[in-house]
Amino acid sequence: MNTVVWFKRDLRTRDHAPLLAAAALGEPVLPLFVVEPGYWQLPDTSARHWAFINDSLQDLRRQLRRLGSDLVVCHGEVTEILARLNQTVGIGRVFCHQETGGAWTFKRDLSVIAWCEEQGIQLREWQQFGVVRRLRDRDLWDNEWSHVMKAGIHDAPAQLPPLPEGIQATASWQPPITACTEACPDRQAGGSARGEKLLASFLERRCVGYQYNISSPVTAVRACSRLSPHIAYGTVSLRQIYQEAKAAGNHRNTLPRKQRSLTSFRSRLHWHCHFIQKLEDEPELEFRAMHRELENLKNGPNDTERLQRWQEGQTGWPLVDACMRALHHTGWINFRMRAMLMAVASYQLWLHWRDPALHLARQFTDFEPGIHYPQVQMQSGLTGINGLRIYNPVLQSQKLDPEGEFIRRWLPELAGVPAKMIHTPWLMTPSQKQRYGGNTYISPVCDHEQAARAARKAVGDFRKRHVSQTETNRVLSCHGSRKGPVQKRPKPAGDEPQTDQLSLFD
């Protein structure tokens, strides 16, 4: 009986329970990845996602060949591919990891389950990290997470049988991408080998001072682990990252500063699963507000000009535009700046959250649906259980890029502007612009302070009229953190976000 090991967001051979279980059966194993045309036509997929996956598939192929097997990559719907393989060589089992994705992949998985039942083929799914399917009580989640993350790490199988007769692995493959095909010159490369190398360098030296350096876009590029795309596509298991970080932090020769940094990093791994659990428990969060009574906070189509200026890095607020242009070019920015981009779109520009969310999803090489959709809603004030985080783009700029180093890198229009003027170039006099440059940089789309005040008032008034304690309690019960004090009602915050906000994307 041939066992298909279906790879999805788990592109590795180490700590891969389905692959290990298939190898232990002593029967033929067929490692399979399916390029699904329907998925690559979704509005939150992009070429940069595929480029990282493609790197990772090439690396996965090398890993499987070292074990004596190979990777079979097919194009089409998964059930059609399985039916074809079943007709060609026969399938006895399908082994895979559970996936918490968007509505499309959820429906896809249901169709695979139904097909396997109809064909009398065993389908077995393994939990990949600390997200619990059919979680009965959110109060139980933390213990479940700890149990999974502390379990033993599986080595890759010592050997795999060759592919079944009649099956050949293709040399190359390309998906039918229709969305967001622009280049991403400085995109991170994929593959387990690169992920392992990043993890080693982070644990050895880059992690020191992690919690202090991850907020500024100037220092975050090096201070952050940069493992987020590898976690998103499973080239390195989250459990391996967690356990190696814990071992490095607990080593008897580790200095206290490094210990504190790795403790902070491990807390982000916990919150990574906490947010994905939200989408697992309520898949509708991809499309509608977490707090259902806030769904109608904004009605009607978005202002297309404002949306386009935000997407192109042309808002006239230097740090906002520099972040968006950096994201276009690299596929990555740190979490604080991601939160600022989304908050500016939601409050100062008063855009409905869905269009900006889709744009950012396409830009992030490390797009993880379970983190992305709950996070953009939190930054847009739609959870009903978090205080408003209305970022002041000027204050953030002055605090996190005081010398304008990041701004000058990504906004050549302002390359000659002194640090004291670069955060508010619209206040420069004509003579100052003539002397330092900045004449070609666009004026702000609006007065950010006035827009923030109007947004805060609009949200506050809407909450008073339409938000009930019953729905707020439902959200708290279903999605609220069980660590620390629980707020029963959201409290408005000032311009400056909470300083202990967790960097879920770092």
- Give the separation between CA 201 and CA 225, rounded to whole angstroms: 9
- Eight-class DSSP state of 294: G
- What pLDDT was estimated at residue 492? 38
Q: Which of 107, 126, 145 is the last residue of a domain?
A: 126
* Residue 324 resides in a domain: yes
Amino acid at 269: L
- 249 and 360 part of one domain: no
- 276 and 292 part of one domain: no
- What pLDDT was estimated at residue 486? 40
- Eight-class DSSP state of 189: P
- 30 and 90 part of one domain: yes
* Residue 144 resides in a domain: no
- 261 and 292 part of one domain: no
**For residue 221, what is the domain's CATH number?**
1.25.40.80
**For residue 36, what is the domain's CATH number?**
3.40.50.620
- 264 and 398 part of one domain: no
Q: Which of 126, 153, 169 is the last residue of a domain?
A: 126
Q: Which of 258, 281, 304 is the last residue of a domain?
A: 281
* Residue 213 resides in a domain: yes
Closest listed residue to residue 486, CA positions, set 130, 211, 138: 138
- 293 and 264 part of one domain: no
- 103 and 247 part of one domain: no
Paired tokens of 338: 């991601």
∠ CA 48-54-58, rounded to 5°: 155
**For residue 311, what is the domain's CATH number?**
1.10.579.10
- 272 and 297 part of one domain: no
- What pLDDT was estimated at residue 483? 65
Does residue 40 contact residue 177 with C-beta atoms inside 8 Å? yes
* Residue 197 resides in a domain: yes
* Residue 319 resides in a domain: yes
- What pLDDT was estimated at residue 168? 80
pLDDT 10s per residue in the chain (506 long)? 899 999 999 999 999 999 999 999 999 999 999 999 999 999 999 999 999 999 999 999 999 999 999 999 999 999 999 999 999 999 999 999 999 999 999 999 999 999 999 999 999 999 999 999 999 899 999 999 999 999 999 999 999 999 988 888 776 677 766 656 678 999 999 999 999 999 999 999 999 999 999 999 999 999 999 999 999 999 999 999 999 999 999 888 889 999 999 999 999 999 999 999 999 999 999 999 999 999 999 988 899 999 999 999 999 999 999 999 999 999 999 999 999 999 999 999 999 999 999 999 999 999 999 999 999 999 999 999 988 899 999 999 999 999 999 999 999 999 999 999 999 999 999 999 999 998 999 999 999 999 999 999 999 999 999 999 999 999 999 998 876 434 343 443 333 333 333 333 33
Q: Which residues contact 55 (CB under 8 A, 6 or more apart)?
A: 189, 190, 191, 194
Domain count along the chain: 3
pLDDT tens-place string over residues 62-117: 999 999 999 999 999 999 999 999 999 999 999 999 999 999 999 999 999 999 99
Q: Which residues contact 412 (CB under 8 A, 6 or more apart)?
A: none
Paired tokens of 15: 């700590």
- Structural domain of residue 23, as residue ranges? 3-126
- 445 and 325 part of one domain: yes
- 298 and 446 part of one domain: yes
- 292 and 381 part of one domain: yes
- 83 and 196 part of one domain: no
* Residue 323 resides in a domain: yes
Does residue 198 contact residue 366 with C-beta atoms inside 8 Å? no
